[in-house]
Structure 1
Amino acid sequence: MRLKLPQLVRRSLKATSFWRDYSLILGEFKYFPWIAFGAIAFAFGAALFEGFGFGFLLTFLQSLVSPDAAPFHTGHDWFDVWILGVNESATSRLFRVSGLILISTWIRAVFNYLSQVFTELTQHKLVDSLRRRIFEQLQSLSLSYFTKAKSGELVSTLTNEIGSLRAAFGALSYIVTKGLTLIVYLFLLFTISWQLTIISVMLFSLVAAGLKNLNARVREASFGIPAASGRFTSVSMEIISGIRTVQAFATQDYERQRFYRASSDLLDVSMKAVKRWALIRPLAEGLASTVLISMIIVALTVFVANGMLQTASLLTFLFILFRLVPAIHELNGNVAVLNNFTGALDNIQQLLRTDNKPYLSQWYATLSRAATGDFL
């Protein structure tokens, strides 16, 4: 089943830089839209039940910190009376909330499992679909293309770049699923204290703005990796296929220099990219920890001291914030990883282009264009 979106939505998506950068991945979802939708839906379900668990945590902490205080009310009488047991004793309410937290945790675990299964299934179908597209593209090209293109670079695209695509999709799926969880976290933080949440969002936005330039440099450095990898594969294949000629004419030293030079070039561009993306995660951790400590100081000295926030609410807010900070660390790290594979994705897209290659016949060209059609 192929998915067709409304014309306005299609034009809006195509105009975004995210679509231009990752259309190779997103465009393949037209062949298995419901599997991709299932992965997102189950991820959203897991995030939703994690939010329920945090909501019950507020009642749980209130029962521990202030057992004699008025019980927490949601505003729905049937839920407050029959589920939370607001008319029961503090011990009974504690047991009820503990059970609700456990139920939410196990349901979230089931949704996480289903989301992981559907994500892996989407990843394997994506890789298989692109392999078939590349095969059909190569089959339809005329011999004049292969006299100019290096076989090692083509093999590198089918092996190394496809492997990079798999890793890029893993990073992209993590960004999507964790992004849904962050939305739930922000909603809960707003319900507890919108003032503290706005301060947190502003500070973390400054951190994200500071890391944006570094992510752009990682993306720029990634374009040299597939080119160097293709040259290394070409040199390796030439040496292996022509080993008899090498030994017959005693050119081992010359081939050794070619191989070492190609290997060194690949090492240099890889290390250049690694040095940039490896800096993002520890830098983000340091900045986020600074923000977190600042938030604790502000909350205690301003909001709790002036009676604007209860102790149980502050503990719940900080607990969610402590869960939010590592998620932001991982999110920034995966954005850096995704940017590191931009060059590999661009290399595959260039191979699949149909407007700059000679085809065996017009029928082959039409067939190839149909196989590489737009998602939108």
Structure 2
Amino acid sequence: MSEAGRSSRRSRARTAWRILRGEDQRGRKLRWLLSLLRPYRKQVWLTVLALVIATAAALAPPYLAGRAIDDGIIEGNSSALVVIVVVYLASVLVLWGASYVQTYLVGWIGQRALQNLRERIYTHLQSMSIGFFTRRKPGVLISRLTNDVQALDSLVTDGIVTLFSSTLTLVGVVAILLALDVPLALVTFVTFPILAVGSVAFRIASAGAYRRTRERIADITAYLQETLSGVRVVRSFGREDRHLKEMTRLNRRNRDVNMKTVQLNAAYFPAVELLSAIGTAAILLYGGQQVLQGDIEIGILVAFVGYLQAFFDPIQQISQLYTTYQQGMAALDKIFDLLDTEPDTTDAADARDPGVLRGEIALEGVWFSYA
């Protein structure tokens, strides 16, 4: 077989695998979700700028603390110490201001984008045929406009920002650690492959768990809507016990699927903390020996310990973001299914708008007679 033929087969295989995993549809849905932010481009760019400034300011304190020890305290240089402390305080103020702007703009953009989404869903529901509402439970439709949109709110306002800021922080920390001391940085990175394998395993295990949580809460919402709206019938026929048993069953199913996610989180996130502690111990052991031998300054070791937490925090935040991502994408799948549903009947291509009807009847050219 020619190289072109083998390449074509590999391409088709990759495409089929992406379709099986739903990645093609996920990409399309994510692009559609991001399109909700298009009317707010200016505010988005201001948010990105504030985010970059906040990240840079957050990375300054550990390095400045190390310099204060080496250049100020150990050298006995009080003027250098004062300058470093002033720069430290300035970085904290910049971090506060940039974080305020970022948080406000993210909320401002997210609330308006999701308001537009709710209006779009409701407009689509208004266009559906009567038969659609006989086939769909009202509680499920209410869940789309409430629970699922709320899950998207977390993805848009928290998830995207966390992904961007955590990635910037991680890249910045890696660059700073390599600039300070390469051997010490490599000791820090030893735990990264273990963490990467654990993150992949967590992703695979939790892939379907969060979709099931959205399905179970939708079932409860639908059942509550139906039973509460028909409570007079339930009470008239004395069916309270029967409905209580059904609600208990649905509630237990919801508890069980949520406990699955709890078990996954309980296994993964403490493991990240354990790896962070192991990394800190390795840095103190190896870096302490380097300080005692005079190979590095103690301020660099202090900075490394400070940056070590900043190294593991973004990884943990990105992992937690996957939880938000799974919940948000499960909600987005359900919203997309709703928006992709076409009405049973549509207007003809040449249909005319009757305009505003005033409720008047005009009889023109009408006659009758008695036989």
Q: TM-score, normalized by length of structure 1? A: 0.78
Query: How far apart in 2 are the matches of 1:201 and 1:109?
Result: 30
Q: Which residue of 2 aligns with 1:137?
A: 124
In structure 2, relative to structure 1, the CA distance for the partners of 1:359 and 1:227 (3 Å cut) is farther
The answer for the alignment partner of 2:6 in structure 1 is: none
How far did residue 17 of structure 1 move? 9.2
Deviations 1:307-341 (A, max 9, x none): 44222222222222233334433343333343344
C-alpha displacement of 1:344: 2.1
1:67: Cα distance to partner? 0.5
The aligned counterpart of 2:50 is 42
Verify: 1:56 aligned to 2:87, yes or no: no
Change (3 A) 1:200 1:336: farther
Amino acid corresponding to residue 154 of structure 2 in structure 1: A
Give the aligned partner of residue 343 of structure 1: 330
2:70 maps to amino acid: Q
Unaligned runs of at least 5 residues, structure 1: 1-14, 69-89, 364-376
**CA 53–270 in structure 1, closer or farther in 2 if over 3 Å, else same:** closer
Paired position in structure 2 for 1:31: 39
Which AA in structure 2 matches 1:277? N
Q: Compute the displacement of 1:342 (Å).
A: 3.4
Secondary structure of 1:309's counterpart equals coil
- Residues 146-177 of structure 1 deviation map (CA, whole Å, 9 limit, x = unaligned): 22111110001111111222223323322322
The RMSD of aligned alpha carbons is 2.7
TM superposition shift of 1:115: 0.9
Aligned partners of 2:47 and 2:106 also within 8 Å: yes
Q: TM-score, normalised by structure 2?
A: 0.79
Give distance in 1, aligned partners of 2:123 and 2:225: 23
Equivalent of residue 118 in structure 1, options 105, 110, 114: 105
- How much does 1:268 deviate? 2.0
1:85 equivalent in structure 2: none
Mapped pair 1:360 → 2:346: yes
1:21 is displaced (CA, Å) by: 7.0
Task: Give 1:211's aligned residue.
Answer: 199
In the TM superposition, residue 345 of structure 1 has moved relative to its aligned partner by 2.6
Q: How many Å separate the matches in 2 of 1:313 and 1:250?
A: 75
Gaps of 5+ in 2: 1-22, 350-371
- Decide whether the 8 Å contact of 1:277 with 1:337 is kept in 2: no
Could you tell me which residue of structure 2 aligns to residue 274 of structure 1?
262
1:294 corresponds in structure 2 to 282
Q: How many residues align?
A: 327
SS in structure 1 at match of 2:207: helix
Identical aligned pairs, as a percentage?
20
Aligned to 2:366: none
Structure 1 residue 91: deviation in Å?
Answer: 1.9
Residue 8 of structure 2: aligned partner: none
Taking a change above 3 Å as real, the CA distance of residues 357 and 176 of structure 1, as seen in their structure-2 partners, is: farther
The answer on whether the counterparts of 2:269 and 2:316 sit within 8 Å (CA) in structure 1 is: yes
Alpha-carbon distance in structure 2 between the residues aligned to 1:144 and 1:322: 57
Q: Which residue does the alignment assign to 2:358?
A: none
Q: Deviations over 1:202-224 (max 9, x none)?
A: 42232122122112222310111
**Secondary structure of 1:360's match?**
coil
Note if contact 1:284-1:332 (Cα within 8 Å) is conserved in structure 2.
Answer: no
How far 1:110 moved relative to its partner? 0.7
